[in-house]
């Protein structure tokens, strides 16, 4: 399955894309079309964000533009420049599902989408648009509008419990986060001998999808085989993740198709929905309820902070002294912290950007990270808010402000929510009471955990 491609007819060989590729997967001579070495590509889409070679109606004429737009299966309403580096669009699959009376369509949104979607409608960088996002998805015609943030809260319940189990029972440490599919692929292809350091907990997207087709089927009284799950993600690699054969524990594919933030904006415009005029609406319950901890998954260090908020209380039985854990925030390449959790000094690390991970892997192989407990790795520059599927900024000077504004909106959203810890989300409590029973239990293990092979051949 091709996820990221470079149009040989449009690429001018400026090599800007190769400068941001964290795995050196883009090859070619200057001033000649570049190619992607699929064996190294982790499908993060940073080349898509960076590419400057394009076709436009104004510069190349309507016929040339229309040919490229049609080849890529983009809506006719798309008029913006089309760049040489692009991710394969699957909006036609989404539209077909919405038009199929035999499909019960459920949609979920990642936390970073609500911090960026409004930018494609003329709003300032980092505008929080959770309410309009939910409203837009309802107008599009989805049967239920859910939130991957609920899956993020469940991820913390499972991953936090897994970390505690490894720490208390002398399991393999440090444990690495596994919610970033590009990072997981990197481990599988570059360091397959270290893949058991990855948490077995699935990503929020995959957890939410598995729950939609099981727990959600029961709630909505809908046969699981009729349920069609669509994800809206800031990440171009999420389509790859959803297509993995391991991600089918619900009986079929846990997530059927993924569209990016940018593609959702195209769809809203294509259907003539006036985004600015939409009222603020909530996500459907219970699979749309979320805590502030889930929301911060979108920024670097967010998964770590969310896990610590819950892990502290699971380990000690006491309320964490401060919900905001500044020690794990920031954008340094690899930052470390020691967090007191009862009698335990939890040593954690956060890798921002996959380009910074190789020294960490070498340190691990050399045995110099054996005293660390938990390490978060995010592939994109400052976490999911900077994902390859987010709105594209044509001027590089705008990037730092976009990153700052989206992160600021993320933390602001966390502070304003009534529940800020995953284990205190009442809908998550009910999920475990009524369906999963307990973290790391039999049902949780079946639906929400997985193992990873070395060097998957799914691309």
Q: What is the spatial distance between Cα 7 and Cα 69, in angstroms, rounded to a whole number?
A: 12
Q: What secondary structure does DSSP assign to 197-221, as a single string?
A: GB-SBPPHHHHHHHHHTTHHHHHHT
Residues 6+ apart with CB under 8 A from 391: 116, 117, 119, 120, 261, 262, 265
Closest CA to 134 of 46, 322, 291, 264: 264
| pLDDT the model gives residue 162 | 95
Q: Give the C-alpha separation, 44 to 271, whole Å.
A: 28
Determine if the pTM surpasses 0.85.
yes
> pLDDT-derived band of residue 458, with 50, 70 and 90 as boundaries?
very low
Quick check: 318 pLDDT over 50? Answer: yes
Q: Identify the pLDDT of residue 330.
A: 87
Q: Give the long-range contacts of residues 244-250, CB within 8 A, separation 24 or more.
A: 244/456, 244/458, 245/458, 246/450, 246/451, 246/452, 247/202, 247/206, 247/209, 247/450, 249/210, 249/446, 249/447, 249/448, 249/450, 250/209, 250/210, 250/212, 250/213, 250/214, 250/224, 250/447
Cα separations (Å) of 143 from 86, 109, 284?
Answer: 30, 14, 10
What's the confidence (pLDDT) of residue 452?
Answer: 83
Considering the domain delimited by 1-89, tell me its CATH architecture: 2-Layer Sandwich (3.30)
Confidence of residue 456 (pLDDT cuts 50, 70, 90): low
Q: What are the boundaries of each domain within the chain?
A: 1-89, 144-448
Residue reference for tokens 């709003």:
123
Check residue 343 and give its pLDDT: 86
Among 153, 81, 120, 70, smallest CA distance to 389 is for 120
Q: Which residue has the higher pLDDT, 341 or 174?
A: 174
Quick: pLDDT tens for 214-267: 999 999 999 999 999 999 999 999 999 999 999 999 999 999 999 999 999 999
Question: How many angstroms separate the CA atoms of 295 and 288, rounded?
Answer: 12
Residues known to be catalytic:
159, 162, 179, 199, 238, 241, 246, 384
Alpha helices in 127-282 (DSSP H): 130-140, 148-168, 181-190, 204-212, 215-220, 238-243, 261-270
396-407 tens-digit pLDDT: 889 999 999 999
- Name the superfamily (CATH) of residues 144-448: Fe-only Hydrogenase (Larger Subunit); Chain L, domain 3 (3.40.950.10)
When pLDDT is averaged across residues 124-146 and rounded to a whole number, the result is 98
* Per-residue model confidence (pLDDT) at position 459: 34
């Amino acid at each position: 399955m091709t996820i990221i491609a470079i149009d040989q007819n449009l690429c001018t060989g400026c090599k800007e894309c190769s400068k941001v590729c964290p795995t050196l997967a883009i090859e070619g001579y200057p001033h000649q079309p570049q190619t992607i070495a699929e064996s190294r590509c982790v499908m993060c889409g940073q080349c898509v964000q960076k590419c400057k070679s394009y076709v436009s109606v104004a510069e190349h004429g309507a016929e040339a533009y229309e040919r490229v737009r049609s080849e890529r299966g983009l809506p006719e309403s798309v008029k913006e420049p089309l760049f040489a580096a692009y991710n394969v669009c699957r909006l036609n699959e989404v539209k077909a599902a919405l038009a199929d009376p035999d499909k019960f369509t459920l949609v979920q949104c990642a936390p970073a989408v609500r911090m960026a979607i409004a930018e494609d409608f003329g709003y300032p960088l980092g505008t929080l648009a959770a309410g309009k996002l939910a409203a837009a998805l309802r107008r599009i015609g989805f049967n239920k509008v859910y939130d991957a943030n609920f899956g993020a809260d469940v991820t913390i319940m499972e991953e936090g419990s897994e970390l505690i189990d490894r720490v208390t029972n002398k399991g393999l440490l440090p444990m690495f986060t596994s919610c970033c599919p590009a990072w997981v692929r990197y481990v599988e292809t570059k360091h397959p001998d270290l893949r058991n350091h990855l948490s077995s907990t699935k990503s929020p997207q995959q957890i939410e999808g598995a729950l939609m087709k099981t727990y959600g089927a029961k709630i909505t009284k809908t046969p699981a085989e009729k349920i069609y799950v669509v994800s809206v993600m800031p990440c171009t690699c999420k389509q790859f993740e959803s297509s993995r054969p391991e991600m089918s524990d619900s009986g079929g594919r846990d997530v059927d198709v993924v569209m990016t933030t940018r593609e959702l904006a195209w769809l809203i415009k294509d259907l003539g929905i006036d985004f600015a005029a939409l009222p603020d609406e909530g996500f459907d319950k219970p699979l749309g309820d979320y805590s502030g901890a889930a929301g911060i998954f979108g920024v670097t260090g967010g998964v770590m902070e969310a896990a610590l908020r819950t892990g502290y209380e699971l380990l000690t039985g006491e309320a964490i002294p401060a919900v905001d854990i500044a020690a794990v925030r920031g954008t340094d390449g690899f930052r470390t912290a020691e967090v007191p959790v009862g009698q335990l000094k939890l040593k954690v690390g956060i890798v921002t950007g996959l380009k910074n991970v190789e020294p960490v892997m070498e340190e691990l192989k050399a045995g110099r990270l054996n005293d660390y407990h938990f390490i978060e790795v995010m592939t994109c520059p400052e976490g999911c808010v900077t994902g390859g599927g987010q709105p594209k900024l044509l001027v590089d000077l705008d990037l730092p402000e976009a990153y700052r504004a989206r992160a600021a909106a993320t933390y602001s959203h966390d502070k304003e929510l009534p529940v800020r810890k995953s284990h205190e989300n009442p809908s998550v409590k009910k999920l475990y009471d009524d369906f999963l029973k307990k973290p790391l239990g039999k049902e949780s293990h079946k639906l929400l955990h997985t193992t990873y092979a070395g060097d998957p051949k799914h691309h």
